[in-house]
Amino acid sequence: MPYDTLIRDPSLPVAKPTTSYWQTPPHEKLLHVQSAQLPAECDIAVIGSGISACSTVRELLVGGYKGTIAVLEARELCSGATGRNGGRIHVHAMKDYDAFRRRFGDDAAKKIVRFQMMHRPAIEAAVKTLRPEHQNRAALRDTESVAAVFSEAKLAQTKTLLANFEAAFPDCAGQWRLISGEEAQKKYKIKNATGAVVHVAGAAWPYRLITDTFQELQEKYPDQLSLDSNTPVLRVSKNPAPGPGYLVSTPRGTVKAKHVVYCTEAHTAHLLPKLTGIIVPRRGQMTVQRPGQNFEHLAGKRSFNFNWDQGHDYLHQNPETGDLIIGGGEHGGVSGSALTYGQRSDDVEILPDKIHLSGLMRVVFGQQDWGEVPAGSHAIKASWSGILGQSLDHVPLVGLLPQEALHDRRVGDPEKGAEWIAVGFGGYGMTNCWLSGVALARQILGQVVPEWFPEQFVASSSRLVRLQDQVETYGGTERHLRALL
């Protein structure tokens, strides 16, 4: 089985992706948004327009930045990972604490998980600053999350994870509650569950949240912020002439920028080749399904995780229509992951995962508690794929780009002009991106890195050297894939 896709140029985003449910209909005012004339110069050029880009731009402007910012997006605004994700603000706290503790140690694991748990209130605070109609469109809400397991071995593992988590986070004791298989089956109608963990999570309509935020920022700061969709960045180079330090080349012309910010997620290595194999694209699958007639409609206030011995699936509900947003798949271990890791285009779907998801609900809830789909309608209302960026060490890459990331130019000066990055969120952007953007913006503003920001996320020279050594040692092999899993 070939693994060279893991070290392949991820290219630009494809021109015609699958249609995401979140982007239907597209934003009325920002569809095809472009400046009448592409800015010839700007103080900060932001490449990408998802949640990390939006958060960075917002924090800069709200934080008092007086320069000009140009947002350059290869396709439509928020058409990448953020506009194609699962829409959940869900921290896998027990599992993540265990995984990060093994990888980075106890103190680091605690800090990373607390950082993730900060996101739901942080996003809520940002939404509350929007106009009432935009607050409603964001569909931000708390959900009762039910994470079910289906084997005695998985239940025993879950009990251990919960005990370790509560010992490390005594202030969170009782917020994650383990219930029996009997209660999971009786109260939540999950057939064959051996147990479940119930806790509070969140959900939102990510595309609307980001595009409406950009709209309000552009209206409030019209002389500072420009938005240019369908303007792919082809390359970034040093400006050999006096003036702003970088040349950002696009098919519509070249923008001279003092700073460049890469919020390019899976496609980052196309512009920064030294990150090839370190930020690896991965294709994910999503569906929207009409609920069976017997499925309980709780106005979007409940979500589910189904944790199998290998892989997991998840769902939450549109609070208005009752439609179920269902994602997951990838249950094939290394062989199955080889079908998704290294895949860089969202113009096709993952058929095995789509087939799996299309039959999931009737099996998990059982025919009696699921019921038939209403006559005259299709069970699958929408399906699409998305491309996310997986980092080799499983945490985002955020901050000032060091020399090790730049193949043909010297590292910049944070005060006079430099290159910055916020990528590698691994499909968990809703609990990592927003505050990563906040932390990045504050650094660009000349402030110290916030105390709450995990050191493991920092794009340091030592981290890049270590990751590049790993890619040189086993890049493009099965070992490389296993390191990403």
Q: What is the pLDDT of residues 41-54, one digit of tens each?
A: 999 999 999 999 99
pLDDT bucket at 376, cuts 50 / 70 / 90: low
Percent of residues, the chain, with pLDDT higher than 90: 93
Label the pairing between strands 141-149 and 302-307.
parallel
Residue 326 phi/psi, 5-degree rounding, is -125, 130
112 in Cβ contact with 104 (< 8 Å): yes
Ordered structural domains, the chain, with CATH:
4-84+207-278+391-484 (3.50.50.60)
Whether the predicted pLDDT of 1 surpasses 70: no
Q: What is the CA radius of gyration of the chain?
A: 22
Least trusted range by pLDDT, from 28-32, 75-79, 310-314, 375-379 = 375-379
DSSP notation for 229-270: -S----EEEE--SSSSSEEEEETTEEEEEEEEEE--GGGHHH
Predicted local confidence at residue 303, as pLDDT:
97
pLDDT bucket at 336, cuts 50 / 70 / 90: confident
CB burial string 280-300: b at 16+ within 10 A, e below:
bbbbbbbbbbbbbeebeeeeb
User: Average pLDDT for residues 428-433, to the nearest whole number?
Assistant: 98
Q: Which two tokens stand for residue 201?
A: 């999570």
219 in Cβ contact with 29 (< 8 Å): no
Q: What is the pLDDT of residues 178-198, one digit of tens each?
A: 999 999 999 999 999 999 999
- H-type helices in 4-118, by residue range? 51-62, 93-104, 106-117
Please state whether the predicted TM-score (pTM) of the whole model is above 0.85: yes
Run of H or E residues at 422: strand 419-423
Predicted local confidence at residue 309, as pLDDT:
87
Q: What is the pLDDT of residues 74-88, one digit of tens each?
A: 999 999 999 999 999
DSSP notation for 353-421: HHHHHHHHHHHHHHHHHH-PPPTTS-SEEEEEEEEEEEETTSS-EEEEPPGGG-SSS---BTTTB-EEE
